[in-house]
Structure 1
Amino acid sequence: MALSQEELHWWAQNAKITVEDGGLHGYLVLRSELLQEEKLPELSFAGLSEFLRLNGITYGIDMVACQQIVMNPRGYIDARARIASGKEQIHGQNAQIEILVDNEPDNTPRVLEGGRVDYFDLGAVRTIYRGQILAKRTPPTEGIAGISVSGATLVAKPGRDTRLPQGKNTSVSADGLLLVADSDGHVSYAPRENKINVFDIFEVKGDVDFSVGNIDFLGSVLIRGSILPGFKVVAAGDIEVLGNVDGATLEAGGDIQIRGGVQMRNQGAIKAGGTVRVRFLQGATAEAGMDVLVRDSIMHSHISAGRNVLMEAQKSVIVGGLVRAGNEIRTRTLGSPMATPTEVEVGVHPHLRIEMAEIHAKLKELHLNIDKTKKALAMLDNMAGQNPLPPDKQQLRQSLSLTYDFYLHEEEELMYRRSEIEAILLDTRQAKVYTLEQIFAGVKLTLGQNVMFVRDPMRGPLFFEISDGEVVARTTSHNGR
């Protein structure tokens, strides 16, 4: 049948075209009233093709489907028939960073004579040599554009770039793909700052007392004795204490490992960019960018971990205070038979929320400075349009231009870090609390934005997670995994 205006008019009156899935698919539906007609007109492929063109369908037309429709239109009355398919765009892959240094706790602690396990002998010291590759970067891809059924280009999103975690005594290769150590030393990866640093080690042969004084070192610190009340040890790398910590302050950009225990007595604090390892915490305040690993007990303490709080000794217990973790809290016993008020929170990432608030404050101040600098440059440019600027004004404009570029670069860095933190805070899938033996009344569980009060003791092994917007308890295997 030859193409005619009557046929086009029939298609226009009886068929409906829809484009869905962002322009990827086109569908045709014949109106249901056609079922009442005894005979349908003879239709042609050319007529349907022209009707599709007039409705903006020009690419990816399914000729077989169209031919079937014109041969048997009654079979497609009131039914969606896909008559065109575009070419879907392929979005680019984000850049990937592979960390080649071991910054994770060893999962196989050393077994001592008599069957005892040293939970702290986990190979925390990591030696790096000059020229050693610390991290690798796979560049992002651009993506491949697609085509809609109307012939329009479907834009593909390019992959987001990611920088290598360059820190002290490290350098990036000329091609931007490798992070290399510039010197021999001790490596420390601080995920919180997204930096790999290579440090030397400062060693104290005995206690940190009045014969030594406070320590502030741009490397790692090894203390073979204890830290006495009132003293402060600050290290850009790691801190290792072979004795105890009594009412002292410890701050490390990397890990803090205390072979003995910690008693704060309402003074001092522990803060690590990486992981804190300790035998027990009593009346303590401790914060870790990654994990807090405690062998025996956490009692009446305020603890924050960016990732996990893990306790797996046979009699490990958390009693009193507040314990926070970004992903997971694991202990044998939670709370006490006396219903001691005990709070645990997971999925909150406390240090990231603090950093986010700091970023917002910095951006607010930065935007004010950018606005002031921009207005000053505009005023000088207006003056230059009327008469040549005198030398002092030219020098001022050059200085303001450099300042403006610096502000824009700083803004880009802050916004990039903000997007990284936002992605982490939105993910609460890993938020869990494990109690391998028992949880007592008086415990308050907070997972993300969801709260559960334990009013009656429960026997383990249990784990608590978010399900359908509320905290639920589930049974688990004996080892809690």
Structure 2
Amino acid sequence: MAKDIYQKFDDGEIILNITNDFMKAYLKIKTSKEEVNLSKQYILEFLKKNNIVYGINERYIDDIIKGNNLNKPVEIAQGLKPVSGENAFIKYYFNNNKEKKAKIDENGKIDFKELNFVESIEKGQVLAEKIPPKEGIDGINLKGEKIRANKGKDINFKLGKNVEISEDGLKVISKCKGRVEFKDGRISINTLLDIKGNVDSSTGNIRFSGDVLVYGDIKSGFFVESQGDIEVNGVIESATVKTEGDLIVKSGIQGSDKEVIFCKGNLICKYIENAKVICEGDIVTDFIVHSNIMCVGSITVNGKKGLIAGGELNVGQNITANIIGSPMGTRTYLEIGVDPKLKIKIKYFLDEKKDIEKKLKILTVTINSYKNLLKKRALSRETRDMFLKKLESYNEFSERLEFLNANIQKISSEIEDSKGGILTVKKKIYPGVKINIGKLTKYIREEISRVKFYIEDKDIVTRKL
């Protein structure tokens, strides 16, 4: 506290105390009387003489003149404290919490396969935003002097690879798909998700916008989806795998009736066993056993075994293998030279056509009964409305049926016009194998060595290698 300032007057003494920072002043009227002969102007002049011109509480002066608050210090003036500006800070729009938590659905059921192991980032996604610093509010001391407020401190982004700053300098934006790497405040996007072990209960299911590398296996019952390529150093065990790119499995694929392997690119693996596979590119493997495969491109089965035995293979182009079937006559079905997607599409259209024809048949009976009532003028307004709705449904289904028939005919023509692929057997093909090339069929009834099957003059012909 600063030194007291004294001033005598007729009825006593004025004692003024001013803080060192000149932000507060205390006034004490020392007197033995119950009232004092002081004017408001006198006190104001006294304060002014001591450099107090701002923040004066005139109500306290009025109280003093009335004889209140005598012989005790009163806060007579107070300055305005400066308010420091707010520092800039960064809001992050990604999960930088490493803790994995199981997903809980709306019914409270916990799914331990959904652990949000990785957060996928899209190109152009805002990752972080800087909230700029704010100016402070200046203060004023008792002298009326301005007290400068501290400005808020700015902060800079720390940028890593595959990110950029927005034009206004306030946002960090991803330059590609991938996942965020956040270390020591630095933001980067990594296009590769590398999983050091297995995809299992420790990771949960994986959904990622970039490439995925699994050092171990993809365990049974789990799910991996990637918008890039997937590479697995181990085995895919009865798991569902979907990739927009290539799938490389350094060991093999051991499937089941439920899980499906789907890749839009090429599939390269050691073997495929008891699996369902849909591949829009080519497949290269050592052997395929008891599997259901749809491949838009070609299938090449080479290596030591080079075996295809059991199951069904629908291939848009060619099949090349060392051995097809087995000495035990394992039933093996090969369809070559027709895009499997056309077969799927025409089956979908045919199923829908069958369903619509059934509905039209029922509607026809109902509409005819309404027409009979109409002839007899026995239709109420409510029944007439129902009749009109049935007619509307009939017309909609008829239009859909016309659309389906046109598409079925178009796809059938495409299948009919398929030139067919080539089946190349480098060693042996056994009885029990059924071959479809285009729309032609051939059953293998005896063991044949080193042969090629293809269409010539509207027939499946064989030629020795």
TM-score, scaled relative to structure 2 = 0.45
Computing the radius of gyration from Cα coordinates, the structure with the larger value is: 2
More helix by proportion, 1 or 2?
1
